[in-house]
Amino acid sequence: MADDFDDAGGMEEHMDMGEEPALDDFGAEAPEAEEHVDIIENQEQHEQGHMPRQRITTRYMTKYEKARVLGTRALQISMNAPVMVELSGETDPLEIAMKELREKKVPFTIRRYLPDGSYEDWSISELVVPD
């Protein structure tokens, strides 16, 4: 009778199930969504040889792009990245990032992916930033 008991608790069957599905904050499976916008740090040497082609996407920065730019830049500033504007008493990294964005001094390029797999690169100085 004692030999009939499985010491592993029957977990041998469930041990090799592979990867678990990604869960969101509410415990539901997160959809496999592809990023449609990337933020790239400016690299002047790469942009010198490229002739700007006619663009398809809008020149207006979306609220989602603005949020991502501000969050990424504020994180960099909080980790002692050089600030691109003159400070007048600001200490909050988010406030500094907002000031940089207002003055279009953020050293980023926004890469917008198109449905056909191609992309467009826009520098912050080329975009119209919403209030």
pLDDT digits 0-9 by tens, 18-39: 445 454 444 444 444 445 778 8
pLDDT of 131 reads: 83
Give the up-direction half-sphere exposure of residue 97: CA atoms within 13 A in the CB hemisphere: 20
CA distance 18 to 15: 8
Residue pair 61/129 in contact (Cβ under 8 Å)? The answer is: yes
* Cα–Cα dist 9/128, whole Å: 62
**Residue 56, C-beta contacts closer than 8 angstroms, at least 6 positions apart:** 114, 120
What is the mean pLDDT of the segment spanning 60-71? 97
Tens digits of residue pLDDT in 70-126: 999 999 999 999 999 999 999 999 999 999 999 999 999 999 999 999 999 999 999
For residue 70, the model assigns a pLDDT of 98
Report the pLDDT value the prediction gives residue 83, as an integer from 0 to 100.
96
Supply the pLDDT for residue 39.
Answer: 82
Find the radius of gyration of the CA atoms of the chain: 23
The pLDDT assigned to 31 comes to 45
CA distance 98 to 71: 10
Least Cα distance to 123 among 105, 110, 113 occurs for: 110
The answer to pTM > 0.75 is no
pLDDT at 4: 59
Residue 51: what pLDDT? 55
Domains, the chain? 35-50+57-81+88-131 (3.90.940.10)
Q: Report the pLDDT value the prediction gives residue 42, as an integer from 0 to 100.
A: 72
Among 7-16, 33-42, 50-59, the least confident range: 7-16
Beta carbons of 90 and 9 less than 8 angstroms apart: no
